[in-house]
Protein backbone atom coordinates (compact mmCIF):
# COMPACT_ATOMS: atom_id res chain seq x y z
CA UNK A 1 0.00 0.00 0.00
CA UNK A 2 1.25 3.48 -0.86
CA UNK A 3 2.05 6.27 1.57
CA UNK A 4 -1.00 8.49 2.11
CA UNK A 5 -0.30 12.19 1.60
CA UNK A 6 -2.29 15.40 1.47
CA UNK A 7 -2.50 14.85 -2.31
CA UNK A 8 -4.00 11.36 -1.85
CA UNK A 9 -6.63 12.86 0.47
CA UNK A 10 -7.53 15.61 -2.02
CA UNK A 11 -7.81 13.00 -4.77
CA UNK A 12 -10.10 10.93 -2.54
CA UNK A 13 -12.46 13.91 -2.30
CA UNK A 14 -12.35 14.40 -6.08
CA UNK A 15 -13.09 10.74 -6.79
CA UNK A 16 -15.60 10.49 -3.91
CA UNK A 17 -13.59 7.68 -2.29
CA UNK A 18 -14.41 7.56 1.44
CA UNK A 19 -11.49 8.35 3.77
CA UNK A 20 -10.97 6.22 6.89
CA UNK A 21 -9.37 7.77 9.97
CA UNK A 22 -8.94 6.58 13.56
CA UNK A 23 -7.20 7.92 16.60
CA UNK A 24 -4.16 6.11 17.98
CA UNK A 25 -1.73 7.01 20.73
CA UNK A 26 1.01 4.35 20.71
CA UNK A 27 3.19 2.42 18.28
CA UNK A 28 1.58 -0.97 18.91
CA UNK A 29 -1.94 0.19 18.06
CA UNK A 30 -0.62 2.32 15.17
CA UNK A 31 1.08 -0.71 13.57
CA UNK A 32 -2.23 -2.61 13.55
CA UNK A 33 -4.04 0.43 12.11
CA UNK A 34 -1.41 0.75 9.36
CA UNK A 35 -1.61 -2.98 8.55
CA UNK A 36 -5.42 -2.71 8.38
CA UNK A 37 -5.12 -0.16 5.56
CA UNK A 38 -6.63 2.84 7.38
CA UNK A 39 -5.87 6.08 5.48
CA UNK A 40 -5.11 8.45 8.33
CA UNK A 41 -4.31 8.50 12.04
CA UNK A 42 -5.24 11.33 14.37
CA UNK A 43 -3.30 11.67 17.60
CA UNK A 44 -6.22 13.42 19.20
CA UNK A 45 -6.26 15.28 22.48
CA UNK A 46 -8.81 12.59 23.34
CA UNK A 47 -5.64 10.90 24.63
CA UNK A 48 -6.29 12.78 27.88
CA UNK A 49 -9.49 10.79 28.32
CA UNK A 50 -8.46 7.49 26.69
CA UNK A 51 -4.92 7.22 28.04
CA UNK A 52 -5.06 9.57 31.03
CA UNK A 53 -8.57 8.79 32.30
CA UNK A 54 -9.33 12.53 32.45
CA UNK A 55 -12.90 13.83 32.28
CA UNK A 56 -12.29 16.07 29.26
CA UNK A 57 -9.48 17.07 26.89
CA UNK A 58 -8.46 20.33 28.58
CA UNK A 59 -5.47 19.07 30.58
CA UNK A 60 -3.53 17.70 27.63
CA UNK A 61 -0.19 19.39 26.89
CA UNK A 62 1.67 20.01 23.64
CA UNK A 63 4.54 17.80 24.85
CA UNK A 64 2.16 14.90 25.54
CA UNK A 65 0.68 15.09 22.03
CA UNK A 66 4.19 15.26 20.53
CA UNK A 67 5.35 12.25 22.58
CA UNK A 68 2.39 10.08 21.53
CA UNK A 69 2.57 11.30 17.94
CA UNK A 70 6.23 10.29 17.65
CA UNK A 71 5.35 6.83 18.99
CA UNK A 72 2.52 6.48 16.47
CA UNK A 73 4.80 7.56 13.61
CA UNK A 74 7.30 4.82 14.52
CA UNK A 75 4.54 2.21 14.39
CA UNK A 76 2.74 3.54 11.31
CA UNK A 77 4.78 5.12 8.54
CA UNK A 78 2.07 4.83 5.82
CA UNK A 79 -1.11 6.57 7.07
CA UNK A 80 -1.35 10.37 6.97
CA UNK A 81 -0.54 11.53 10.51
CA UNK A 82 -2.39 14.43 12.13
CA UNK A 83 -1.55 15.88 15.56
CA UNK A 84 -4.17 17.70 17.63
CA UNK A 85 -3.26 21.13 18.97
CA UNK A 86 -4.21 21.04 22.67
CA UNK A 87 -6.36 23.61 24.47
CA UNK A 88 -4.63 27.02 24.76
CA UNK A 89 -1.75 26.17 22.45
CA UNK A 90 -3.23 28.22 19.58
CA UNK A 91 -6.07 30.39 20.90
CA UNK A 92 -4.05 33.16 22.60
CA UNK A 93 -2.02 34.42 19.64
CA UNK A 94 -1.22 33.71 16.02
CA UNK A 95 2.50 33.63 16.74
CA UNK A 96 2.12 31.04 19.49
CA UNK A 97 -0.11 28.97 17.22
CA UNK A 98 2.50 28.85 14.44
CA UNK A 99 5.33 28.01 16.85
CA UNK A 100 3.32 25.22 18.51
CA UNK A 101 2.16 23.77 15.19
CA UNK A 102 5.81 23.66 14.12
CA UNK A 103 6.70 21.85 17.35
CA UNK A 104 4.21 19.09 16.53
CA UNK A 105 5.76 18.58 13.11
CA UNK A 106 9.35 18.66 14.41
CA UNK A 107 8.94 16.76 17.68
CA UNK A 108 5.87 14.69 16.85
CA UNK A 109 6.74 14.00 13.20
CA UNK A 110 3.13 14.80 12.28
CA UNK A 111 2.20 15.76 8.73
CA UNK A 112 -0.58 18.15 9.71
CA UNK A 113 -2.12 19.76 12.77
CA UNK A 114 -5.78 19.95 13.81
CA UNK A 115 -7.32 22.81 15.72
CA UNK A 116 -10.84 23.50 16.88
CA UNK A 117 -12.89 26.37 15.48
CA UNK A 118 -13.61 28.18 12.23
CA UNK A 119 -14.09 31.92 11.93
CA UNK A 120 -12.59 32.68 15.36
CA UNK A 121 -9.30 30.94 14.55
CA UNK A 122 -9.05 31.76 10.85
CA UNK A 123 -6.03 34.10 11.41
CA UNK A 124 -4.25 31.15 13.07
CA UNK A 125 -5.20 28.80 10.22
CA UNK A 126 -3.88 31.32 7.63
CA UNK A 127 -0.60 31.83 9.46
CA UNK A 128 0.05 28.12 10.12
CA UNK A 129 -0.77 27.30 6.50
CA UNK A 130 1.53 30.11 5.32
CA UNK A 131 4.31 28.48 7.35
CA UNK A 132 3.91 25.38 5.19
CA UNK A 133 2.01 23.33 7.75
CA UNK A 134 -1.22 21.66 6.57
CA UNK A 135 -4.18 22.45 8.85
CA UNK A 136 -7.30 20.41 9.64
CA UNK A 137 -10.12 22.47 11.14
CA UNK A 138 -12.65 20.96 13.57
CA UNK A 139 -16.13 22.50 13.80
CA UNK A 140 -19.52 21.67 15.32
CA UNK A 141 -19.10 19.97 18.69
CA UNK A 142 -15.65 21.18 19.69
CA UNK A 143 -14.65 19.32 22.89
CA UNK A 144 -12.19 22.01 24.04
CA UNK A 145 -15.23 24.33 24.41
CA UNK A 146 -17.02 21.82 26.65
CA UNK A 147 -17.76 24.45 29.32
CA UNK A 148 -18.92 27.06 26.79
CA UNK A 149 -21.28 24.47 25.25
CA UNK A 150 -22.58 23.32 28.67
CA UNK A 151 -21.40 19.75 28.02
CA UNK A 152 -20.69 17.48 25.05
CA UNK A 153 -23.86 18.38 23.13
CA UNK A 154 -24.87 18.05 19.47
CA UNK A 155 -24.44 21.44 17.76
CA UNK A 156 -26.23 23.12 14.85
CA UNK A 157 -29.64 21.55 15.48
CA UNK A 158 -31.54 24.78 14.76
CA UNK A 159 -31.34 27.08 11.77
CA UNK A 160 -29.22 29.88 13.23
CA UNK A 161 -26.84 27.45 14.94
CA UNK A 162 -26.57 25.37 11.76
CA UNK A 163 -25.68 28.50 9.81
CA UNK A 164 -22.92 29.29 12.30
CA UNK A 165 -21.40 25.83 11.86
CA UNK A 166 -21.70 26.15 8.06
CA UNK A 167 -19.97 29.55 8.08
CA UNK A 168 -17.26 28.25 10.44
CA UNK A 169 -16.45 25.41 8.03
CA UNK A 170 -16.33 27.83 5.08
CA UNK A 171 -14.16 30.34 6.97
CA UNK A 172 -11.70 27.59 7.90
CA UNK A 173 -11.32 26.50 4.28
CA UNK A 174 -11.05 30.11 3.03
CA UNK A 175 -8.23 30.56 5.58
CA UNK A 176 -6.40 27.54 4.16
CA UNK A 177 -7.61 24.39 5.95
CA UNK A 178 -7.18 21.37 3.67
CA UNK A 179 -9.65 19.21 5.62
CA UNK A 180 -12.49 19.80 8.09
CA UNK A 181 -13.63 17.51 10.89
CA UNK A 182 -17.38 17.77 11.50
CA UNK A 183 -18.29 16.55 14.96
CA UNK A 184 -21.69 16.12 16.60
CA UNK A 185 -23.95 17.84 14.07
CA UNK A 186 -27.13 16.72 12.26
CA UNK A 187 -26.39 14.55 9.23
CA UNK A 188 -28.29 16.89 6.88
CA UNK A 189 -26.05 19.82 7.88
CA UNK A 190 -22.90 17.68 7.51
CA UNK A 191 -23.97 16.56 4.04
CA UNK A 192 -24.66 20.18 3.03
CA UNK A 193 -21.24 21.33 4.26
CA UNK A 194 -19.53 18.37 2.54
CA UNK A 195 -21.20 19.23 -0.77
CA UNK A 196 -20.26 22.91 -0.41
CA UNK A 197 -16.57 22.50 0.46
CA UNK A 198 -13.84 21.69 -2.05
CA UNK A 199 -11.82 19.91 0.66
CA UNK A 200 -12.60 16.59 2.38
CA UNK A 201 -14.84 16.55 5.45
CA UNK A 202 -14.33 13.88 8.10
CA UNK A 203 -17.34 13.11 10.27
CA UNK A 204 -17.75 11.87 13.81
CA UNK A 205 -21.37 11.82 14.90
CA UNK A 206 -22.19 13.65 11.66
CA UNK A 207 -23.81 10.97 9.48
CA UNK A 208 -22.75 9.19 6.33
CA UNK A 209 -22.76 12.22 4.05
CA UNK A 210 -19.19 13.25 4.97
CA UNK A 211 -16.18 12.46 2.78
CA UNK A 212 -14.73 10.22 5.49
CA UNK A 213 -15.20 9.08 9.06
CA UNK A 214 -13.12 9.16 12.22
CA UNK A 215 -13.61 7.26 15.47
CA UNK A 216 -11.63 7.07 18.67
CA UNK A 217 -9.84 3.68 18.52
CA UNK A 218 -10.93 2.49 21.96
CA UNK A 219 -14.57 3.28 21.09
CA UNK A 220 -14.65 1.28 17.86
CA UNK A 221 -12.81 -1.56 19.61
CA UNK A 222 -15.49 -1.65 22.31
CA UNK A 223 -13.00 -1.27 25.14
CA UNK A 224 -15.28 0.72 27.43
CA UNK A 225 -18.70 -0.89 28.00
CA UNK A 226 -19.90 2.12 30.00
CA UNK A 227 -19.34 4.50 27.05
CA UNK A 228 -21.67 3.66 24.17
CA UNK A 229 -22.90 6.89 22.58
CA UNK A 230 -25.30 6.77 19.62
CA UNK A 231 -22.66 7.70 17.04
CA UNK A 232 -20.19 4.93 17.95
CA UNK A 233 -20.30 1.47 16.43
CA UNK A 234 -18.36 -1.12 18.40
CA UNK A 235 -16.80 -3.30 15.71
CA UNK A 236 -15.60 -5.83 18.27
CA UNK A 237 -16.23 -6.48 21.96
CA UNK A 238 -12.67 -5.55 22.88
CA UNK A 239 -13.51 -5.31 26.58
CA UNK A 240 -14.74 -8.93 26.74
CA UNK A 241 -11.86 -10.12 24.56
CA UNK A 242 -9.17 -8.47 26.65
CA UNK A 243 -10.75 -9.15 30.02
CA UNK A 244 -11.09 -12.80 29.06
CA UNK A 245 -7.38 -12.94 28.17
CA UNK A 246 -6.36 -11.29 31.46
CA UNK A 247 -8.56 -13.74 33.39
CA UNK A 248 -6.99 -16.72 31.60
CA UNK A 249 -3.53 -15.34 32.39
CA UNK A 250 -4.36 -14.79 36.08
CA UNK A 251 -5.75 -18.35 36.29
CA UNK A 252 -2.68 -19.85 34.61
CA UNK A 253 -0.36 -17.95 36.96
CA UNK A 254 -2.48 -19.01 39.95
CA UNK A 255 -2.36 -22.71 39.06
CA UNK A 256 1.32 -22.57 37.96
CA UNK A 257 0.51 -23.74 34.43
CA UNK A 258 2.25 -20.61 33.11
CA UNK A 259 5.07 -20.54 32.21
CA UNK A 260 5.43 -24.15 31.04
CA UNK A 261 8.62 -25.92 29.94
CA UNK A 262 8.63 -24.52 26.41
CA UNK A 263 8.11 -21.01 27.76
CA UNK A 264 11.11 -21.27 30.12
CA UNK A 265 14.89 -21.08 29.73
CA UNK A 266 17.22 -23.73 31.11
CA UNK A 267 20.89 -23.72 32.01
CA UNK A 268 23.03 -25.46 29.31
CA UNK A 269 23.78 -28.48 31.51
CA UNK A 270 20.13 -29.03 32.41
CA UNK A 271 19.12 -28.60 28.76
CA UNK A 272 21.68 -31.22 27.72
CA UNK A 273 20.43 -33.62 30.39
CA UNK A 274 16.88 -33.14 29.13
CA UNK A 275 17.95 -33.69 25.52
CA UNK A 276 19.22 -37.17 26.40
CA UNK A 277 16.13 -37.97 28.42
CA UNK A 278 18.01 -38.00 31.74
CA UNK A 279 20.40 -40.77 30.55
CA UNK A 280 23.67 -39.13 31.62
CA UNK A 281 25.80 -41.90 30.14
CA UNK A 282 24.82 -40.62 26.65
CA UNK A 283 26.49 -37.27 27.43
CA UNK A 284 29.99 -38.71 27.81
O1 LIG B 1 -9.31 14.27 19.96
C2 LIG B 1 -9.93 13.54 19.16
O3 LIG B 1 -9.85 12.31 19.21
C4 LIG B 1 -10.73 14.20 18.15
C5 LIG B 1 -11.63 13.33 17.32
C6 LIG B 1 -12.75 12.86 18.13
C7 LIG B 1 -12.07 14.02 16.08
O8 LIG B 1 -10.69 15.38 18.03
Could you give the domains of the chain?
6-236 (3.20.20.60), 242-283 (no CATH)
Chain segment 49-96, per-residue pLDDT in tens:
999 999 999 999 999 999 999 999 999 999 999 999 999 999 999 999
Query: How would you classify the pairing of strands 135-140 and 112-116?
Result: parallel
Q: Look at residue 282 and tell me whether its pLDDT is greater than 70.
A: no
pLDDT averaged over every residue in the chain: 96
Scored b (16 or more CB within 10 A) or e, 69-103 reads: bbbbbebbebbbbbbbbbbebbbeeeeebbebbeb
The one catalytic residue among 96, 174, 183, 261: 183
CB 117 within 8 A of CB 78: no
Atom of ligand 1 nearest to the CA of 44: 1
Residues 90 and 116: their CA atoms lie apart, in Å, by 9
Query: Using CA of residue 221, residue 223, residue 227, residue 228, what is the dihedral sign?
Result: positive
> Looking at ligand 1, which atom is closest to the CA of residue 57?
1
- Ligand 1, atom 3: closest residue by C-alpha: 44
183 in active site: yes
Q: Alpha-carbon distance 130 to 13, whole Å?
A: 23
Q: What are the pLDDT digits (tens) for 144-168?
A: 999 999 999 999 999 999 999 999 9
Which of 167, 183, 61 is CA-nearest to residue 122? 167
Gap from CA of 46 to ligand 1 centroid (Å): 6
- For 203, the 3-state DSSP assignment is strand
DSSP reduced 3-state for 150? coil
Q: What does each C-alpha distance from 271 to 9, 249, 260 come to in angstroms? A: 56, 26, 15
CB 165 within 8 A of CB 145: no
pLDDT beyond 70 at 24:
yes
Phi, psi angles (nearest 5°) of residue 20: -100, 135
Total residue count of the chain as it appears in this document = 284
pLDDT surpasses 80 at 277: no
Give the rounded distance of the alpha carbon of 182 from its chain centre.
Answer: 15
What is the maximum alpha-carbon separation in the chain? 92
In testing the pocket of ligand 1, which one of 204, 231, 232 has its CB within 8 Å of the most ligand atoms?
A: 204
- Contacts of 282 by beta carbon, 8 Å cutoff, 6+ apart: 276
| Non-local CB neighbours of 231 within 8 Å, separated by 6+ positions | 184, 204, 205, 206
Three-state DSSP at 97 gives helix
Most informative mutation of 40, 52, 57 for ligand 1 (most atoms within 8 A of CB) = 57
Which residues line the pocket of ligand 1, CB cutoff 6 A? 23, 42, 44-46, 84, 138, 181, 183, 204, 214, 216
Ligand 1: which atom is nearest the Cα of residue 214? 7
Whether 140 contacts 184, CB under 8 Å = yes
Q: What are the tens digits of pLDDT across the range 216-239? A: 999 999 999 998 899 999 999 999
Amino acid sequence: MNKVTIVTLAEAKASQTPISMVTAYDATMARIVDDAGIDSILVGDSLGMVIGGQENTLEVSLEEVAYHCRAVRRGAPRPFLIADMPFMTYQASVEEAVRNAGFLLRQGRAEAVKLEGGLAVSPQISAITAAGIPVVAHVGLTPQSVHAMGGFKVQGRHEAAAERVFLDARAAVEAGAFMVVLEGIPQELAARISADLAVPTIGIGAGVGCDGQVLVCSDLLGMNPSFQPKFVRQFVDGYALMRGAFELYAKAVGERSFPNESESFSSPAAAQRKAVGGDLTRLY
